Amino acid sequence: MSNLINAAATALICIGPRDEIIEFAIGHLQDIMCPHRQAQPGSACRCAVCHAITLHQSSAVTWIEPANDYLLEDIEPVFNAIRYQLDEGARHAFVFVNAHLLSVACANRLLKVVEEPPRGYFFMFLANDYAALLPTIQSRGTVTYQSVHQTPMLGGLLAYFTDPEKQQDPAGLDTLLRNETISLAETRLLVHQLATIIDYTQYRQPALARQTLDTAQRNFPQAGGAQHFLRWLFMALHAARFIE
């Protein structure tokens, strides 16, 4: 996953259903903060760092999720935290859940620190709809994750990589690929999403499935190569899922 996200980015925007993007955020934070996952992004890890992040109890992550609209006092923890200088190499994340509810006053107050955070600090804005974010937030962040379920065509395509029946229907995939034009950006999004939601326990060869997704993330197709790439990915995951 980290292959797709610039680890040095200090403002990330994640778009999708709440639970899905929280899960994505947790995975991303673990990739950045856990020493094991830094070496092997997306790997299963049971260390104390990962565990604390999963439980929203990590001291390196400040989750901000007001019950209603954001008030200035809700974002005060950011300013309390950044008074302290982080050790070299240390990271601290602020995660704004329902960032589309940030008020103009809050966004303005955050502007400068989001633009130029002190060393090691970074921001994640989680929202269900990119268009609902304030322009000041939109322009500060890099969109790193967008649920494919928000685009019906990609959601349909994703099923060929997750649904056990569709994963055995190469003819169906062929038809879809013939009838739809799928861009490289969409292909990237699809693989990104797949890496987030894949359930390796459903695979007869989980190590092969993991390796396939790793390869997919590292070897994105060139222009015009999306269809070929998606057929390859389909066959490779099919083999990993159904063949001993």
What is the smallest separation between the CB atom of 36 and Zn ion, expressed in angstroms?
Answer: 5
Nearest 5°: CA angle at 83, between 140 and 47? 80
DSSP string of 55-72?
Answer: TT--TTEEEE--SSS--G
What is the smallest separation between the CB atom of 50 and Zn ion, expressed in angstroms?
Answer: 3
CB of 228 within 8 A of CB of 216? no
What's the rounded Cα separation, in Å, for the pair 37 and 32? Answer: 7
Q: Which of 14, 50, 127, 182 binds Zn ion (CB under 5 A)?
A: 50
Q: Which of 26, 33, 34, 53 binds Zn ion (CB under 5 A)?
A: 34
Residue 45 binds to Zn ion (criterion: CB under 5 A): yes
What is the smallest separation between the CB atom of 44 and Zn ion, expressed in angstroms?
Answer: 9
Q: Which of 174, 180, 133 has the alpha carbon at shortest distance from 155? A: 180
Residue 47 binds to Zn ion (criterion: CB under 5 A): yes
- Segment contacting Zn ion by CB under 5 A, of 28-36, 83-91, 110-118, 156-164: 28-36
What is the smallest separation between the CB atom of 48 and Zn ion, expressed in angstroms?
Answer: 8
Pick 55 or 67: Cβ nearer Zn ion = 55
Sign of CA dihedral 26, 160, 142, 41: positive
Pick 32 or 64: Cβ nearer Zn ion = 32
Determine the 3-state secondary structure of 93 from DSSP: strand
SS3 content of the chain, % helix, strand, coil (to 5): 55, 10, 35
Burial of 183 (0-12, 13-18, 19+ CB in 10 A): exposed
- Segment contacting Zn ion by CB under 5 A, of 46-54, 68-76, 140-148, 222-230: 46-54
What is the smallest separation between the CB atom of 34 and Zn ion, expressed in angstroms?
Answer: 3
Residue 44 binds to Zn ion (criterion: CB under 5 A): no
- Take residue 114 and report the two structure tokens written for it: 């989001």
What is the smallest separation between the CB atom of 10 and Zn ion, expressed in angstroms?
Answer: 22
Pick 32 or 158: Cβ nearer Zn ion = 32
- Segment contacting Zn ion by CB under 5 A, of 49-57, 92-100, 146-154, 180-188: 49-57
For Zn ion, how many residues bind (rule: CB under 5 A)?
A: 6
CB of 57 within 8 A of CB of 90? no
Which residues make up the interface to Zn ion (CB under 5 A)?
Answer: 34, 36, 45, 47, 49-50
